[in-house]
Amino acid sequence: MSKYIDTHAHLYLEPFSSDIDEVTRRAGDAGVQMILLPNIDQTSVLPMRELSKKYPAIYRVMTGLHPTSVKENWREELDSVFHALQDENPVAVGETGIDLYWDKTFIEEQKQAFEVQIDYAKQHSLPLVIHSRNSLDLIIDILKPHKGSVTGVFHCFPGSVQQAKKVADMGFLLGIGGVATYKNAKMADVAAYLPSETLLLETDAPFLTPQQERGKRNESAFIPLIAGFIAARRNISTEMLAEITTSNAEKLFGLKK
């Protein structure tokens, strides 16, 4: 069986509160050997930490502040998250970035919070996990001065092949999830044409369910559906795609045992 890593899943959220054991088992049955948990804000720290302690061989945590949680008190919020998770051996700083889809009220604060998290990632030799909804070009510009000193992944990469090439040129990888399977999705072209060493698999569960399971809650067990779709677009076997993306994840997040 192919082995996968789901590099981005919010399995600590309420939709999984009643059946997380079954969700975890199904992921394992599907070949998903590790699941990385991005933080949102202070409210997600405890449930995320509890899940990682319950299944320490499977779940690994990140530290950071999601851009939609950035408000006037972002600095206090971010410091609290960093402090709460400093002893949990986080594998990345995330989910960070800028979101200009839901609300532009705190755009300047989002930029400041992102810069602080970039610096934190550099200081602690951690990759960034970047949310870039309606903000991809802005984030690329912010990262340019840091080229060569920080790496990471653009989660649920929203851009074109041309934008993806810019991201790859800065040393960043691309998170490919269920959106790639949707009709006319730009992500499908990105997944087909970019170098294999730039690709990671993710679900963003419970969101963005692959087309084959649309209407259901997304979960890590659906990773092979995404892998199969991408493999077909790249004209390689699903097994080879799994091997490539798992190796990429292990290198980026330092997951080698």
Q: What are the structural domains of the chain?
A: 4-253 (3.20.20.140)
In degrees, to the nearest 5, what angle opens at C-alpha 237 toward C-alphas 236 and 239? Answer: 135
Residues 6+ apart with CB under 8 A from 81: 39, 41, 42, 45, 63, 64, 65
* Strands 59-61 vs 93-97: parallel, antiparallel or unpaired: unpaired
3-class secondary-structure state, position 173: strand
Concatenating the DSSP letter of every residue in 11-47 gives TTSGGGTTTHHHHHHHHHHTTEEEEEE---SHHHHHH
Please report the pLDDT score of residue 45 as a whole number: 98
Mean pLDDT by 10 residues, the chain (257 residues): 96 98 98 98 98 98 98 97 96 97 93 98 98 96 97 95 95 97 92 94 98 97 97 97 98 88
Please report the pLDDT score of residue 137 as a whole number: 96
Environment class of 46 (CB within 10 Å of its CB; exposed 0-12, middle 13-18, buried 19+): exposed
Phi-psi region at 237: left, alpha or beta (left = phi > 0; alpha = psi -120 to 50) = beta
Find out whether 225 and 32 touch, Cβ atoms under 8 Å: no
Give the torsion through C-alpha atoms of 142, 158, 252, 129, to 10 deg: 60
pTM of the model: 0.97
Residue 60 phi, psi dihedral angles, 5° rounding: -125, 145
In degrees, to the nearest 5, what angle opens at C-alpha 12 toward C-alphas 10 and 16? Answer: 95
Strand order in the sheet with 59-61: 4-6, 32-37, 59-61
Please report the pLDDT score of residue 257 as a whole number: 54
